[in-house]
Amino acid sequence: MSSAAWLANKGRQVGTLLGLLLLGALLSILSPHFLTVSNLLNVLEQTAINAVIAAGMTFVIISGGIDLSVGSIVAFSGVLLASALQAPLAAPLAIAVGLAAGAACGLVNGLLITRGRLPPFIATLGMMSVARGAALVFTEGRPVSGFEAGFRSLATGRVLGLPAPVLAAALVYVLAHLLLSRTRFGRYVYAIGGNEEATRLSGVEVRFHKTMVYVLCGITSALAAVLLTARLNSAQPIAGIMYELDAIAATVIGGTSLLGGSGSLGGTLVGALIMGVLRNGLNLLGVSSFLQQIVIGLVIIVAVLVDSMLKRPGR
């Protein structure tokens, strides 16, 4: 990365963070209920699920791909996890079942893209439908509900005053950040997104690493399913509809380019928080859900507009 591009990237990240802080400041003025410890924890808890999915999505988008199947994978791995819990399997085993289901969906995505040479949009669009249908067939359309308290503590538990889902999401981000910034795999993800052909010619096993990116995204979707299932005490085959758009939005607001090759997990986390804070604030202010959709759409558009304005002088 040239130093100018590095600066622009840093500037973008700081800009996003500034956006979040200003949004917070504005909401603190407009609503007396916003800036309280319990509400801020509330926002973090509500953001955790989207943030975890968006972490995997960030890898996919940096690699130059897209994953439209995350919401359906949330539903599919969620109902498998829930049925395993009711089998009854011990919670760690049941969670392993759910994660394996997510990883398997991701593996199929990855193989279709790298071996079958399908565009990621098409492969994951297919998976979106297949995984959703599989979840519906498996449950006959009905939710699978009611779990033991141990599993539910993943949603209700608190450690050092922090809600368990928030800690889980934080852990995901620390690990994912290390993976992306400190390992060879992470560097390859950037390289593949920047110039896939050059990366292949320099001897990198592109197909393997690309496949692993989708496996990773499947796993984070399944992790989100664990959090969602514990939170609602129920796994629904119709859960996670349109979650892919929220995850893509968080990633893009966070400054990851849809063209691939650049982006960061820190940015995505801030992007997810902006969406969470915005939804929370609009609820606190009693804004109608119709207007909320307009606002969220505007935020996505403005974020990407700013992105392209930032990049233009560097060209």
Partner 1 sequence: MKIARPASFVAALAGLALAGCSRPAPDPSAPAKPRVALVLKTLNNPFFIDMQKGAQEAATRLGVDLVVQAAEREVDVDKQMQIIENLIQTGVQALCITPSGSKEVVPAIAKANAARIPVVIVDTRVDVAAATEAGIRLDGFVGSDNYEGGKVAGEYLIQVTGGKARVGLLEGIPGHETGDSRLEGFHDAVKNAPGVKVVASQTANWERDQGFTVFQNMLQAHPEIDALFACSDMMALGAVEAIAAAGKTGKIRVIGFDAVDDARKAIAAGTILASVAQFPSEMGRLAVEDAVKLIRGEKPEPEQKVRIELVTKATVSGN
Judged by CB under 8 A, which stretch of 92-100, 119-127, 203-211, 281-289 contacts partner 1?
A: 281-289
Phi, psi of 279 (to 5 degrees): -60, -45
| Shortest spacing between CB 73 and partner 1, in angstroms | 16
- Nearest approach in angstroms of CB 42 to partner 1 is 5
Residue 53 engages partner 1 in binding (rule: CB under 8 A): no
SS3 32: coil
CA distance to 124, 214, 249, 303, per residue, from 61 (Å): 13, 10, 11, 16
Q: Rounded to an integer, what distance in angstroms lies between the CA atom of residue 154 and that of residue 279?
A: 23
Residues 6+ apart with CB under 8 A from 134: 76
Return the C-alpha torsion angle 238, 241, 247, 248, nearest 10.
140
Q: With binding defined as CB under 8 A, does residue 142 bind partner 1?
A: yes
Whether 280 contacts 265, CB under 8 Å = no
* Residue range at the interface with partner 1 (CB under 8 A); choices 177-185, 186-194, 203-211, 232-240: 232-240
Q: With CB under 8 A as the contact rule, which of the stretches 56-64, 85-93, 211-219, 226-234 interacts with partner 1? A: 226-234
DSSP characters over 246-289: HHHHHHHHTT--TTSS---HHHHHHHHHHHHHHHHHHHHTT--H
Binding-residue pattern over the window 292 to 311 for partner 1, x denoting contact by CB under 8 A:
xxxx--xx-xxx--xx-xx-
Residue among 22 and 87 whose Cβ is closer to partner 1: 22
* Amino acid present at 12: R
Task: Out of 160, 286, 308, 315, point to the residue binding partner 1 (CB under 8 A).
Answer: 286
| Shortest Cβ 274–partner 1 spacing (Å) | 5
- The nearer residue to partner 1, 118 or 306, going by C-beta atoms, is 306
CB of 84 to partner 1, least distance (A): 18
**Contact between 72 and partner 1 (CB under 8 A)?**
no
For partner 1, give the closer residue by CB, 127 or 227.
227
